[in-house]
Structure 1
Amino acid sequence: MAVLGVVYGDIGTSPLYAFKASLQLFDPTKTTAVEIMGVLSLIFWSLIIIVTIKYVFLVMRADNRGEGGILALMALAQRVSIGAGTKRTLALIGIAGACLFFGDGVITPAISVLSALEGLKVSAPSLKLYVLPISIAVIAGLFAMQRQGTGRVGRLFGPVMIVWFLAIGVLGTLEIMKHPFVLYAVSPSYALQLCIQYKGMAFFVLGAVVLCVTGAEALYADMGHFGAWPIRISWLLFVLPCLVLNYFGQGALMIGDTAAIQNPFFLLGPEWLRLPMVLLATVATVIASQAVISGAFSVARQCTQMGFLPRMTVRHTSTMEEGQIYVPQVNTALAVGVVLLVLAFKTSDSLASAYGIAVTGTFLCTAVLAMVVFRRQFHWSRFAAISVFGVLFLIDSVFFSANTIKVVEGGWVPLALGISLTGLMTSWKQGRDVLLSRWKQSSMPLAPFLTRLPQSRIIRVPGLAVFMTSNPDYVPTSLLHNLKHNKVLHENVLFVTVENEDVPEVSPQRRAEVAELAPGVHRVILRYGFMESPNIPRELEDQTDKLGVRVSQASYFLGREVLVPGMAPKLSWWRRGLFLIMARNAVPATEFFRIPSDRVVELGVRITI
């Protein structure tokens, strides 16, 4: 039940706009069974090839220790690849896919809520002027509730979506019974006939048909929460049949009355049921939007942990579920973006032009990464990997190309967002690499420092000092500055390094590695996966027996980096500018690592980049 509520919210609400958007490209006064059956056939085989074969049967096999999603797939592909150049290319593909996913996160709430409330134009025409303000109010409420967490709301998701799928399936079945021959559209010959007859126009139709598979990436992304088999069974035995019945029901309605093109979804049912369906659709679209928003929070945290974004505030909204998080910066950015889209495009039909590029772009990235994983990890032959995923990549390319035609109409939105975010992420990654290189040049190796420590005249004072360092083999800059200014060293010293691994979660046995380097001096390496949030004090408390000191009384010494542009920068001017802006707005290390602010000593470090 929970699978239906979280995983299938997005793809489950696509009947609200996918069939209508596809058929509206033809002349409504001359629409015949050829166009209707052809579109139905294209929708059916898109669901079978892209969702069922590509994602459900193939891509979901490529789990990164149980976790899915394009970043998990990227980490898996990098792990089984050879060569630094190949890994950088795969990283860029993964970043591009993640950035397009953020574009999806902006468009999904806008088009879903608008398409649901546009049912008022059919059920209550007098309220059609209020569709836009009501949509903005629903969206504002949706983002406002994010800070409270989705735990309570989540318990309602499953039952509501069961009612939703049953309702759309039954309504579609009742209409199919009036024109049962629409079921012949399962034959690909109708799709082929449409393409042959309309040629160039059919290419445009593909750009709208792809709307029926929006949310396919969610099946893979949410695999870690529910497992592969519950997702597969729910899709094959319940979700897919209900979706197909509703699409074919809309087609049967159109065959009986072509005037139903104004809104075939809401005209399926009797008049007395239309207003309740608007309410149910609104709730279903909120659920669909919630799933995408939660996914955006998770992807943002993964990007931060993998070093592609600066530190951000991550608040856990559940004491039971680690995955339930709230990222205020991402929530605000999404809310502003969604409201601006609604005000700019005003109707779901206009937004449909902007939707496809984000979805199909992610499909392309997934196909490339999956081909690498199946070739290397599953030991498929080169011919098999290229044949299978090459065909899927070709199909995705056709859909993507069909949507690029709509760039001027609105497709530029996710494209611009994806390019901008990719520029931000790659600039941050390169900037951090340059920073690390500068830091190594001015740092002192740890081994000789510890060798000379017993003979030095450094005064040791009571207490425990924790020095955070990104490289466990070098003396932390904050320690050198503390010696320079305060000329003392604590009796007990911990060098703590946080390492992020390309796995979703690190087992408790591998979490901490403690080593005594000298009397009273220990090195602690803490490992986290990209689905986890660091908590330094808690982890150090768990190592009290090995350390032999009370960590709760420790003082944390951090280096406060002050970045200034240099005369001979290693970064281009625009990347350096982006990096400096992001660095100045990054969440402080104390908040990100959950270090008590009253136990922190920050020492300024001026670094030229």
Structure 2
Amino acid sequence: MSTLAALRPADRKRAAGLTLAALGVVFGDIGTSPLYTVQTCFSDFTGLQPTHDNVLGMLSLITWALLIVVTLKYVIVVMRADNHGEGGVLALMALVSREPGISERRRNVYAILGMLGAALFYGDCLLTPAISVLSAVEGLNVATPAFQPVILPIAMAVLIGLFAMQHYGTGGIGHLFGPIMLIWFAILFLLGARQIAQHPEVLMALSPYHAFAFAMKHKAGAFVALGAVTLALTGAEALYADIGHFGRSPIRVAWLIVVFPALLTNYYGQGALLLADPTAASNPFFKLAPHWALYPLVVVATMATVIASQATISAAFSMAQQATLLGVSPRARILHTSPDEFGQIYVPAVNWLQLLGVLGIVLAFQTGPDIASAYGIAVTGTMLITTMLVLTLAVRGWKWRWTLVVPLFLLLLVVDGALFSANMTKFVEGGWVPLAIATILFIAMWTWYRGRHAVELRERERTVPIDTLLATIEPERLHRTQGTAIYLTTFSDAASSSLMQNLRHNGVLHEHVVLLTVHLLEEPFVSPEDRLRMRELGSGIHRAVLCYGFMEKPDVAHDIAGLAGQGIPIDPLHTSFFIGHNNVVSGQHPLLPSWQRRLFLVLSRFAASSTDFLGLPANQTVELGSRIEV
């Protein structure tokens, strides 16, 4: 009995709804890869001609790449590695880093791998919208070459419109994504099945023998061809990254029942067309369609690629939020676009920088095949890092037997390593572009990560233990003003530097004082009952800790309302927030190399203010400055 059949009617309806929604969000990227994959396999990039043996060999490589990388690795193995329901390379990094008994040095290694994966992911985020939308619009060329001059302007207009609408959120159109992509996959299946019925000998490519024979015949050429096969795997990481939105089962069901059969059928249909007409290699996807269906197909393909691009953009926003809250990037301004759906966020800085990058790539490469020749390094790099982190988790966390771990992960590492190495051959053809972007982003993230630790070390040197603070308070010499003062402090065992400054310079202490520490944890969400903890220290002073996960936006002003139930008045007219504002400068005894220190100082100037980031009311917050030398 299937999983869906075993559920109650209401549960089946919910599971079906989630599966349909997953089609629209998770599979947009990999679902539009037939637009350009087979075309690239027989382009100038590979130098291969669409002969009978070459067609069967390439189809066999695509088939087994989808089976091993997507089905075995992501659907069966990697999706087990959810961090309290959340996925993605940064969530995986946090999950592995929490394993007990890990040294600080090993934790830094995991942090480096996670940041590398995130940086490569951002490189991929620039190429995916460019190649998807451009390849869809290029279908107009199949109808008539007269459209050639307007292909680029149309693609750029679609992309600009897509990014310009991001601040509205995806809630209004999100419910349409699933049905549109279901129609898209049905079209993929029907177009492919029509050609397969005419040339069923193409199904021989299901045998791995043809992939092996192709590799033996072409050797170095087959290695280069893997760079084109990688295009069929674009978006595989999304299956893992979007666990938190839909859960494992809907994504697995959507892949196994709808997406995988539709993709494979379409690839084999394109192969059947090439067996009958090798000249169709110039654009085999659109030549699958009857002439009367070409323009509607271009419209549907463009809609599908816009959905695929939307998924990539939303994933970039989510990754930016995770990176900010895990402390590997400067604080970013994050806006929630839906009062009901937490995951719908908008990050203005990421949105406009991504648009500039995508338009730059479209203008630089001009055509879908040219972008495809540069695509693959970033996505295969992320895949390789994911495999290494999951391998660590399987050994340390899941306690898998070595007899299972060794053969399974040896297979995955060999396949990922081969794909990554093959795509490195694209370096001079433009593959250096996403790699350069990823390198710059990694250097920035590693610098911010080390700089934050340096700042914390300097702050720790200047802290005053709470017991020392309590011992030095002389009530008869202090003026106790009415109301509540909430002092934000980095360390839960020490007094706030802003409180010490206030005492030193003003000699004033509020009637109720709360030393508040905001902890950003390496888990995605914190339950309401674990959000706020408080204890009384005496003399009207209290210690409180607010906890947030890396998928949550801190909202201190809202969440401290829980203090009122413990006897601390929280009245907007008589509650003030005090927060330290660190002015980071170069010091005589630096903790960072000079280049990294200068870069950290630059990055710190672009970070969003702590007041906005923590959700403090601006008209009730006092910032007290201090110099921090790193």
TM-score between both structures, scaled by the size of structure 1: 0.98
Q: Please point out which of 405, 425, 449 is paired with 2:445.
A: 425
Q: Please point out which of 14, 17, 21 is paired with 2:40.
A: 21
Cα displacement string for residues 405-431 of structure 1 (whole angstroms, at most 9, x for unaligned residues) = 111111111111111111111111111
Q: Please point out which of 547, 571, 583 is paired with 1:562.
A: 583
> Which stretch shifts more, 48-57 or 86-95?
86-95
Q: State the partner residue of 1:586.
A: 607
Q: Please point out which of 353, 356, 364 is paired with 1:344.
A: 364
Q: State the partner residue of 1:54.
A: 73
Give runs of aligned pairs for residues 19-418 of structure 1, distance below 5 A.
19-25=38-44, 30-80=49-99, 82-418=102-438
CA distance in 1, matches of 2:49, 2:229: 20
Counterpart AA for 2:23: L
CA distance in 2, matches of 1:410, 1:517: 61
SS of the residue 1:318 aligns to: coil
What 5-or-longer segments of structure 1 have no aligned partner?
A: none
2:321–2:551 contact (8 Å) kept in structure 1: yes
- Identity %, equivalent residues: 47
2:35–2:136 contact (8 Å) kept in structure 1: yes
Give runs of aligned pairs for residues 512-591 of structure 1, distance below 5 A.
512-553=532-573, 554-591=575-612
Counterpart AA for 1:578: L
SS of the residue 2:542 aligns to: strand
SS of the residue 2:287 aligns to: coil
Cα displacement string for residues 300-359 of structure 1 (whole angstroms, at most 9, x for unaligned residues) = 110111110111101000111111100011111101100100000111111112220011
Counterpart AA for 1:458: L
CA distance in 1, matches of 2:186, 2:154: 26
Q: State the partner residue of 2:28.
A: 9
Cα displacement string for residues 546-582 of structure 1 (whole angstroms, at most 9, x for unaligned residues) = 1431243311111111111112311112211111011
1:147–1:326 contact (8 Å) kept in structure 2: yes
Root mean square deviation, CA, Å: 1.4
SS of the residue 2:536 aligns to: strand
Q: Please point out which of 426, 439, 457 is paired with 1:437.
A: 457
SS of the residue 1:67 aligns to: coil
| Residue 518 of structure 2 corresponds to residue 492 of structure 1 | no
Counterpart AA for 1:39: M
Following TM superposition, by how much is the alpha carbon of 1:2 offset from its aligned partner in structure 2, in angstroms?
0.4
2:40–2:46 contact (8 Å) kept in structure 1: no
Cα displacement string for residues 479-504 of structure 1 (whole angstroms, at most 9, x for unaligned residues) = 12222332211111111111111111
Cα displacement string for residues 230-287 of structure 1 (whole angstroms, at most 9, x for unaligned residues) = 1111111111000000000000111111111110000001011111111111110010
2:46–2:224 contact (8 Å) kept in structure 1: no
2:83–2:92 contact (8 Å) kept in structure 1: yes
SS of the residue 1:524 aligns to: strand
Cα displacement string for residues 361-393 of structure 1 (whole angstroms, at most 9, x for unaligned residues) = 001000000001111221112343233112201
Cα displacement string for residues 129-167 of structure 1 (whole angstroms, at most 9, x for unaligned residues) = 111111111110110011000101111100100110001
Counterpart AA for 1:569: P
SS of the residue 2:150 aligns to: helix
2:46–2:221 contact (8 Å) kept in structure 1: no
Following TM superposition, by how much is the alpha carbon of 1:32 offset from its aligned partner in structure 2, in angstroms?
1.1
Following TM superposition, by how much is the alpha carbon of 1:466 offset from its aligned partner in structure 2, in angstroms?
1.0
Counterpart AA for 1:591: D
1:78–1:90 contact (8 Å) kept in structure 2: yes
Cα displacement string for residues 435-485 of structure 1 (whole angstroms, at most 9, x for unaligned residues) = 111111122111111123245622111111111111021111111222233
Counterpart AA for 1:236: L
Counterpart AA for 1:252: A
CA distance in 1, matches of 2:579, 2:514: 12
Matched pairs, number:
609
Are residues 232 and 358 of structure 1, via their aligned partners in 2, closer, same or farther at CA, if it must alter by over 3 Å? same
> Which stretch shifts more, 104-113 or 21-30?
21-30
Cα displacement string for residues 70-125 of structure 1 (whole angstroms, at most 9, x for unaligned residues) = 11111111122522221111111111111111111111101101100110111243
> Which stretch shifts more, 361-370 or 564-573?
564-573
Following TM superposition, by how much is the alpha carbon of 1:531 offset from its aligned partner in structure 2, in angstroms?
0.7
Following TM superposition, by how much is the alpha carbon of 1:204 offset from its aligned partner in structure 2, in angstroms?
0.6
2:46–2:225 contact (8 Å) kept in structure 1: no
Following TM superposition, by how much is the alpha carbon of 1:64 offset from its aligned partner in structure 2, in angstroms?
1.1
> Which stretch shifts more, 75-84 or 245-254?
75-84
Q: State the partner residue of 2:17.
A: none
SS of the residue 1:562 aligns to: strand
SS of the residue 1:65 aligns to: coil
CA distance in 1, matches of 2:316, 2:506: 44
Q: Please point out which of 476, 481, 488 is paired with 1:468.
A: 488
SS of the residue 1:267 aligns to: helix
Counterpart AA for 1:142: L
CA distance in 2, matches of 1:536, 1:547: 18
Are residues 83 and 384 of structure 1, via their aligned partners in 2, closer, same or farther at CA, if it must alter by over 3 Å? farther
CA distance in 2, matches of 1:42, 1:25: 19
CA distance in 1, matches of 2:322, 2:47: 46
CA distance in 2, matches of 1:401, 1:499: 40
CA distance in 1, matches of 2:239, 2:106: 27
Cα displacement string for residues 488-535 of structure 1 (whole angstroms, at most 9, x for unaligned residues) = 111111111111111110111111101111132111101111111100
Counterpart AA for 1:559: G
Counterpart AA for 2:35: L
CA distance in 1, matches of 2:40, 2:249: 33
Q: State the partner residue of 2:8.
A: none
